[in-house]
Structure 1
Amino acid sequence: MARRTTANAPQLKFYQKLILNRYLLAQFGVSDLRELSANMKRPSLEEIDGEGVTGFYKQLTAQFGGKCMISEEALARYDLNIVSHMRKINDKRTEPMVLKYFQYLSLLFVEYYLDEYFNDRQGLIDRLNAYIANFNAQFPNDSYKPYETKDLNKIAIWNATGSGKTLIMHVNYYQYMHYSGGKLPDDATYILLTPKEGLSLQHIEDYADSGITARIYDKATSRWTQSANEISVLENTKLGDKDQDTVVSVKRFGSRNVVFVDEGHRGSSSGKDGKWQKYRDELCGVHPVKRT
């Protein structure tokens, strides 16, 4: 995440200062999500044709093709990936996922980001920093320091309550597997952190409905007994500096994990003087996959 550089009174509201969000919108030649999504709300666009192409893709390319910085070929590939991942989830669901426009855009942004991150990381940094330089010139009271490589291994998806964030996260799991090549190092784990036990149990059920293997983390069980690509689920309140009866040492997991966080705002600064966020950062401090 880009970091603020000045203590002067800010000029912009919080949502206007989300650099990565602004940058992604700029790739379509717009500065506001409402402009990008204005013509994407028709139910007919939720349909997928016989070739596996969404109406959303057709609308985006028809409306923004002339000014979009992302090639039509890349957008087509992202669209097919999203449909493929969604169909994996729907294979076992009694209520299939049908993407709404805001869910599709969330997944499309993640597709673009992961593609850039794994396949042109330095180019992504260069383009983000060029955008930041322009942003800082326009809004000096809200300026940010340039991105570094270590700033790129965390992204946040911000959607309203009831907007289907859980299923979006299931697709995110397959998106990550696709771009990373589907393998983690021996000392890495897929982890889901939640704010409370009830949510952890609910996620286990939701993962099962989507055909994704997940279980509540048990420190008495060896990680070597986990099935491939299994997700360990636990509450951030159970992480600590060392093992105790109901506490798991964050050091057990190392720092090369892929971490999904549900309701991340609950663990950003609250509890144990902000240690929950510190533990989250430790879990994914070193990126687990380097593509060659």
Structure 2
Amino acid sequence: MSPPCQPYTRIGLQHGSQDPRSKSFLHLLKVLDTMQHPPSYILVENVKGFETSDSRDMLVDQLQKSNYTFQEFLLTPSKAIGIPNSRLRYYLLAKLKPLPFAYTTTASDDSILDFIPYLSKHTHYCEKQVDALVNYLDPNADQEEYAVPDKVLLKNGYVFDIVTPSSLHSCCFTKGYYHYAQGTGSILQMNEAVNAQAIFEKVQTIDEKDTSLRLELLHSLKLRYFTPREVANLMGFPANFQFPPTATRKQQYRTLGNSINVKLVSHLMHYLIMQPSCIDQ
């Protein structure tokens, strides 16, 4: 389950269960209470902030009432699975008793894990061994097609989160990427031989009316947007994933911004169905 995130997001009003958009989720909780054959496994995903909401409390209460055991997580791909992207999300896994979890928490019942238990035993999933962005880039991406427009460079370039192919991180991509400049995802600097901070500092010393010289400096960075394919790569989508031919670029970015990290969730699903005897294998 992935309830609407707007009632819980940090930039929203955070009305929780009082927000009309949470009604569908609350309805599912009522349905769970009446099911003769409830599901053996449940996975819930939402934004960070859900864990402190009254909706979370209602979810946990209903799960306990319906004879489930559960574990909660706050996970981001960079730390959990080594993908260089920040997308911190809340997850809850639940199992119908007597099904056991492969990993038993030793802290209080309210503890929230920041790792996937069975992956923590594998050294290649380590925060210190995050992949470089270059491994997720499309070598055939058109620089001109995805270049940041001059108007946006001059007006909003100072608020960009700029990364390079060798960077080990990128910001969370939202549905506003490619449309809004700040807080919607990282911008890629293809020319790693140039220092972006030095360029922007130099641009500030140039008269605003001299746009040609300012743009000449900014163009030296070769700033571009991540392509939808590259964002999909960072979201863990398989290489054969494709959008329908009718999907516009804006629709592709919006869909990805509203999506989940597929690879991270697949690991959670694998852990959810694991037996205790498998955790050390």
TM-score, structure 2 as length reference: 0.31
Question: Which structure has more helix as a fraction of its residues?
Answer: 1
TM-score, structure 1 as length reference: 0.30
Pair member with larger Rg = 2
Question: Which structure has more strand as a fraction of its residues?
Answer: 2
